[in-house]
């Protein structure tokens, strides 16, 4: 893309064009020509940057149904919303499976709701390897909230907490027996706990587990983590979740984990730039030749002589 085309695209993006937004995300997600310039030219009004709301939790917790209810409530309040659903990667075309788009069909024609499904593409943290770039593009558009739903995480897959301003952890009553093993990972990242499918028999027992866990954990700031019960499939308890999301967002708390996430991303970008001129096939041929010529091939001296 030429600088002029990028400027036009960014102008359309800032004016709320979903077409421009979709194109910009595709450019950065696929690293098309000019994607790095586009990212560098993004500009933000600090007072108008929309908060990122992360929705995470184990598979089957009802995250997509909960997001559907949250979007319904916020859109009825005339809020402009972006939803990023991180889906499993298709083994055939490396794209997103797009399961969430079926669940959110009611919002497709809403002019204030933008929905984007992205694939994990091998990322192990419940997110896409391009999620930071995608959310940066979204932040340059006029939204009130950006919702990011993870693919479903486990104990070590907690990258969402570095990305989101507010992290909502969705659990189900049956998770009560596993709460001790989850404690060191997923259970440590919540700003809001949502106990979904709370009409099931074990709901009260699970809620007590959560209360005890929070009581044992020292409070990190002035925010008191709520435990909310919902039956998202019946739209029960959604209003309380939206209220707590809004209250937490309005506190503008600093995310202590965001610098770590951005540092990791910076290292990935630096490593990629430093190795962009290295051709894998040429490297393999050179190593093969050296092995054939030497009885005892030393990889480290080879690298020192040729690449360091």
Dump pLDDT digits (tens) for 24-53.
Answer: 999 999 999 999 999 999 988 777 899 999
pLDDT reading at 109 higher than 90: no
Measured between alpha carbons, how far is 42 from 20 in angstroms, rounded to an integer? 13
Residue 130 zone, left/alpha/beta (φ > 0; ψ -120 to 50; rest)? alpha
Q: Which domains can be identified in the chain, with CATH numbers?
A: 1-43 (no CATH), 44-257 (3.40.50.300), 262-306 (no CATH)
Average pLDDT of the chain is 85
Global pTM reads 0.85
Contact criterion met (CB below 8 Å) for 154 and 185: yes
Q: What is the pLDDT of residue 180?
A: 55
| DSSP β-bridge partners for residue 169 | 56, 193
- Among candidates 10, 190, 4, 160, which has minimal Cα distance to 85? 160
For the chain, the residue count is 308
Q: Check whether 84 has a pLDDT greater than 80.
A: yes
Residue 124 has pLDDT above 70, yes or no: no
């Amino acid at each position: 893309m030429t600088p002029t085309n990028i400027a036009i695209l960014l102008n359309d993006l800032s004016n709320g064009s979903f077409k421009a937004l979709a194109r910009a995300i595709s450019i950065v997600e696929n690293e098309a020509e000019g994607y790095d310039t586009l990212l560098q030219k993004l500009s933000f009004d600090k007072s108008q940057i929309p908060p990122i709301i992360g929705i995470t939790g184990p598979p089957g917790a009802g995250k997509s149904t909960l997001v559907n209810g949250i979007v319904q409530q916020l859109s009825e309040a005339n809020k402009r919303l972006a939803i990023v659903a991180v889906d499993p990667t298709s083994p055939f075309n490396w794209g997103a499976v797009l399961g969430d788009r079926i669940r959110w069909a009611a919002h497709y024609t809403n002019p204030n709701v933008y929905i984007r499904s992205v694939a994990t593409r091998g990322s192990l943290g419940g997110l896409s390897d391009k999620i930071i770039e995608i959310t940066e593009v979204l932040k340059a558009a006029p939204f009130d909230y950006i919702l990011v739903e993870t693919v479903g995480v486990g104990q070590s897959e907690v990258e969402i907490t570095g990305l989101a301003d507010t992290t909502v952890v969705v659990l189900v009553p049956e998770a009560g027996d596993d709460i001790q093993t989850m404690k060191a990972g997923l259970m440590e990242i919540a700003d809001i706990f949502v106990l979904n499918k709370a009409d099931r028999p074990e709901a009260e027992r699970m809620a007590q587990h959560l209360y005890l866990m929070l009581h044992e954990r020292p409070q990190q700031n002035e925010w008191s983590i709520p435990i909310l019960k919902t039956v998202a499939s019946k739209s029960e308890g959604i209003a309380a979740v939206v209220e707590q999301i809004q209250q937490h967002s309005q506190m503008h708390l600093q995310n202590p984990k965001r610098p770590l996430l951005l540092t990791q991303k910076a290292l990935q970008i630096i490593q990629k730039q430093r190795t962009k001129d290295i051709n894998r096939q040429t490297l393999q041929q050179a190593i093969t030749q050296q092995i054939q010529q030497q009885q005892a091939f030393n990889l480290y001296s080879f690298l020192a002589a040729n690449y360091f």
